[in-house]
Amino acid sequence: MVLLPNRLVLIFLLLLPATVAAADFAVVVNKENQVATLDRDEVKKIFLGRKTFWTDGQSIDLVLQADGEVHRDFVRAILHKSPRQFEMYWKLALFSGTGIPPKQQPGDQAVKAAVAANPKMIGYIDIRQLDATVKKIELK
C-alpha cells in the first residue's frame, strides 16, 4: 500500500509534460486565411505533408522552427514524434522523391513574419509571442 501513492505521483509526473507542452505553442496562419479551427489529426497530416491543400484549393505552405523548446513541444504533442524522428521523416521524403522538407525559421519572430507575409502558410510559435500579425488556429 505504501507504493500506491508513489505510483500515483509517478503517473501524474509522466502525464504532466504532455499537458504543459500542449499549452506552450500556438498553431498560426495568415490573418487572411479563412480557416479558424483544425482537428489535431488534420494539423498532423499538414505537417507530415499528407494534406497539401486548404479547403479553398490553395496549396499549403509550411514553416517550422529550426530547433528549440517550441519545436520540440509541437512535434511531440501534435506529430507524436521526437524532433529527430521528424527530421528523418522529411529527409526520407526528400531522398525518396515524395516530398520537400518545409522551410525553417530560427524562432517565433521569423515564423510570424513568414506567416504574415504568405496567406497560404501555417506554422507554430510560442503562445506568449502571439499577437495581431497572425491568426491562432483553435485545435479540436
> Average pLDDT, stretch 56-60?
96
Q: How far apart are CA 12 and CA 20, in angstroms?
A: 12
- pLDDT at position 121 is 98
Question: 140 to each of 1, 41, 79, 87, 110, how far by Cα in Å?
Answer: 39, 9, 15, 25, 26
CB count within 10 Å of CB 67 equals 13
Contacts (Cβ under 8 Å, ≥6 apart) of 55: 34, 35
Q: Which domains does the chain have, with CATH numbers?
A: 3-139 (3.40.190.10)
Q: How are beta strands 37-38 and 138-139 bridged, if at all?
A: parallel
Q: What does the block give as the cell for 113? A: 513574419
Work out the pLDDT band at 7, boundaries 50, 70, 90: low
Contacts (Cβ under 8 Å, ≥6 apart) of 106: 65, 66
pLDDT tens digits, residue range 83-111?
999 999 999 999 999 999 999 999 999 99
pLDDT for residue 10 is more than 60: no
pLDDT for residue 125 is more than 60: yes
Q: How far apart are CA 75 and CA 80, in angstroms?
A: 6
Residue indicated by cell numbers 528523418:
88
> Average pLDDT, stretch 26-30?
98
